[in-house]
Amino acid sequence: MVAENIGGGSEQRLRSDEWYGYGDGDGRDGYIHRAWMQRGYPADAFDGKRPQIAIANTASDLTPCNMHLDEIMQSVKLGVAEAGGIGLDLPVVSLGETLVKPTAMLWRNMAAMAMEEMFRANPIDGLVLLGGCDKTIPALLMAAASVGIPAVVVPGGPMMNGMFRGQRMGCGTGTWQLSEEVRAGTLSKEAFLASDRSMIRSKGHCNTMGTASTMAVMAEALGMTIPGLAGTPAPDARLLEGSQATGRLIVDMVHQGRTIGDVITRGSLLNAITAIAACGGSTNAVIHLMAIAGRLGIELTLDDFDSVGARVPLLVNLQPSGAFLMEDLYNAGGLLAVLAEVKDLLDPAPITVTGRPLVDYLDDRAIWNTEVIAPRDAPLIPAASEETSGAGIAVLRGNLAPNGAIIKPSAASAHLLQHRGKAIVFDSIEDFHARVDDPDLDVTPDSVLILRGCGPMGYPGMPEVANLPLPQKILKQGIRDMVRISDGRMSGTAYGTVVLHVAPEAAAGGTLALVQDGDEIVLDVANRSIVLDVPEEELARRTPSPALVAGLASAKRGWERLYIEHVQGADTGADLDFLVGASGSEVTRESH
């Protein structure tokens, strides 16, 4: 599992030697690059033989899920040094899901762009990517992919299990559930507010199979972590052990010339889809995986998620789809035990960062708790068939979403997966909040709640607002789920019969902009369709509502303006058009 050739020298000239080497001429440039770096390092640290490893560090006190990454960085540094490299802390843009407004997703691409440029601009030969909270791992991978040097991920790990009143309380999921109980009048506000310390108990990212856990699963299934490391709880000593081993490994990868492009291939991307489906992972993975693939020039479409995911049974019983939390998954055998159950569905060819294929790590992986990881022959949800929609992400199409929309059947209510109902339209999340609890709102349990103007362009960043709380009127009838449709996203910790990522979004002229109250909508997940049952001629006569148009973003300056002008649809990964692809690692001009 660790690098073998400790202290081994490189055959080829290291990239960093372009900076530190003695070169031609009067040697002034190399002098400048070395002289300022030599403080605290021996003279041979920059002799052109020691791989320079940047530890891209998203630690930040304002990204509470990543607060502890400085500690991990130190363990990585130790491993790099043991293997004869130089480990260098490189703080990069960090995004915390819970604090930044209006949504961390607005800056995933900005973070990825800034990281990419710093990876390229600096004298580094390899990268260790430290992430945790939702957007950090995808941004790091997008950036590293566009530079194309050796890279390996250390996922920061989930926090310990939350427990509230004797029950597991998962991050996010518990918040959605308990706040709904407050709205329904079955839990006091005081009891709800007192639950926060029971939910968040330690360092680490959200402990549900939310987006952060899904990104860790994704990174490992892509081959980008030391196999077995993803999901190691943040406070667990084994995470530091794995971090140190990762430090040794990256030095070896530099010597071997094994780059991120050797590890992430179409085969490993499909393996990641399989892993995420078996785990009941977050819908956000769809956007992030497509964006990563786009950086590498690998074709990956929405339909790949459906066709690959449909073959996969749901095996992992974690919130929000199930009952347990990440610490339980780790103790039950972890991701490798899950992957061992679906080994036949994995592409055996893709290698991991170690140089060996992922499937090599799946022999003799036992499941220690079958309540947490269901065996293949007794899955929580079987693979798709005539009777079921399967465990993965279902991609819906129809006149309401010609470019596609997604739903996570495992987080939805079975009885709503085939549904016809009348639309109630909200032109913004503010419009929704103003009217949802109006006693005069004409809503029944069969209504279909529509929230629009929340796509990447309309509400820049595409916020996680699609899992609309139900109207109080409906909650009081004991109902806990309704069909909801939006061009926005939902938190990976959320659940419900929610159709997400409708494309094209309303702001880009999608049909969603034309829906009116009372229109009939037909959802048919088995047949993968989402239809607005209004005649074409009638739709041709309609124009978007003035309230929707007024609410759409029109930024005058800064990142938001750049974002609105260049962001692509959710159906292709919501990257900026000019960031798709790669620029490589070469920098030809000097700084002085």
Query: Which residue ranges make up the site for Mg ion (CB under 5 A)?
Result: 59, 91
Closest to 423 (Cα-Cα) out of 398, 396, 451 = 451
- Is position 98 an interface residue for ligand FES (rule: CB under 6 A)? yes
Nearer to ligand FES, 82 or 134 (CB): 134
Q: How far is the CB of 128 from Mg ion (least distance, A)?
A: 14
Contact 391, 356 (CB under 8 A): no
- Is position 65 an interface residue for ligand FES (rule: CB under 6 A)? yes
Partner whose footprint covers residue 59, from ligand FES, Mg ion, none (CB < 5 to 8 Å by kind): Mg ion
Q: How far is the CB of 123 from Mg ion (least distance, A)?
A: 20
Task: Using CB under 6 A, count the residues that bind ligand FES.
Answer: 10
Q: How far is the CB of 206 from ligand FES (least distance, A)?
A: 3
Contact 495, 173 (CB under 8 A): yes
Residues 133, 312, 395, 548: which binds ligand FES (CB under 6 A)?
A: 133
- Is position 128 an interface residue for ligand FES (rule: CB under 6 A)? no
Partner whose footprint covers residue 205, from Mg ion, ligand FES, none (CB < 5 to 8 Å by kind): ligand FES
d(CA 88, CA 106) in angstroms, rounded, equals 28
d(CA 267, CA 511) in angstroms, rounded, equals 34
Residues 15, 108, 120, 205: which binds ligand FES (CB under 6 A)?
A: 205
Per residue in 419-450, is it b (16+ CB within 10 Å) or e — as a string? bebebbbbbbbebbeeebeeeeeebebebbbb
- What's the CA angle centered on 390, arms 389 and 395, to 5 degrees? 65
Q: Near ligand FES by CB under 6 A, which window of 204-212, 357-365, 383-391, 429-437?
A: 204-212
Nearer to ligand FES, 134 or 519 (CB): 134
Identity of the amino acid at 241:
E
Q: How far is the CB of 204 from ligand FES (least distance, A)?
A: 8
Q: What are residue 131's phi and psi, to 5 degrees?
A: -135, 175
Footprint of ligand FES on 170-199 (CB under 6 A): 171
Rounded CA Rg of the chain: 24
List strand residue ranges (DSSP E) for 35-150, in order. 52-57, 86-91, 126-131
- Bridge partners for 330 per DSSP: none
Contact 484, 425 (CB under 8 A): no
Partner whose footprint covers residue 97, from ligand FES, Mg ion, none (CB < 5 to 8 Å by kind): ligand FES
**Does residue 504 have a cis bond before it (omega within 30 degrees)?**
yes
- Is position 376 an interface residue for ligand FES (rule: CB under 6 A)? no
Q: How far is the CB of 519 from ligand FES (least distance, A)?
A: 35
Closest to 152 (Cα-Cα) out of 54, 50, 84, 71 = 54
Q: How far is the CB of 399 from ligand FES (least distance, A)?
A: 35
Q: Near ligand FES by CB under 6 A, which window of 54-62, 202-210, 363-371, 414-422?
A: 202-210
Footprint of ligand FES on 249-278 (CB under 6 A): none
Taking phi over 0 as left and psi of -120 to 50 as alpha, with beta for the rest, 22 belongs to alpha
- Is position 97 an interface residue for ligand FES (rule: CB under 6 A)? yes
Return the structure tokens found at 157.
Answer: 């790990």
Q: How far is CA 204 from CA 74, 106, 221, 436, in A?
A: 17, 23, 20, 35
Nearer to ligand FES, 98 or 444 (CB): 98
Nearer to Mg ion, 62 or 378 (CB): 62
Nearer to ligand FES, 134 or 560 (CB): 134
Q: How far is the CB of 207 from ligand FES (least distance, A)?
A: 9
Contact 14, 125 (CB under 8 A): yes
Partner whose footprint covers residue 206, from ligand FES, Mg ion, none (CB < 5 to 8 Å by kind): ligand FES
d(CA 240, CA 232) in angstroms, rounded, equals 10
- Is position 206 an interface residue for ligand FES (rule: CB under 6 A)? yes
Nearer to ligand FES, 133 or 217 (CB): 133
Q: How far is the CB of 138 from ligand FES (least distance, A)?
A: 12
- Is position 327 an interface residue for ligand FES (rule: CB under 6 A)? no
Q: What are residue 110's phi and psi, to 5 degrees?
A: -65, -45
Closest to 494 (Cα-Cα) out of 231, 175, 205, 213 = 175
Q: Near ligand FES by CB under 6 A, which window of 113-121, 137-145, 203-211, 383-391?
A: 203-211
d(CA 100, CA 29) in angstroms, rounded, equals 41
Nearer to ligand FES, 208 or 428 (CB): 208
Return the structure tokens found at 351.
Answer: 């290698």
Closest to 55 (Cα-Cα) out of 32, 35, 82, 85 = 85
Nearer to ligand FES, 129 or 423 (CB): 129
Closest to 343 (Cα-Cα) out of 324, 321, 320, 360 = 360
| Beta strands 167-168 and 529-532, pairing class | unpaired
| Beta strands 86-91 and 126-131, pairing class | unpaired
Nearer to Mg ion, 130 or 490 (CB): 130
Footprint of ligand FES on 210-229 (CB under 6 A): 210, 212
Q: Near ligand FES by CB under 6 A, which window of 83-91, 206-214, 395-403, 440-448?
A: 206-214
Residues 116, 125, 134, 519: which binds ligand FES (CB under 6 A)?
A: 134
Partner whose footprint covers residue 292, from ligand FES, Mg ion, none (CB < 5 to 8 Å by kind): none
Binding site for ligand FES (CB under 6 A): 65, 97-98, 133-134, 171, 205-206, 210, 212
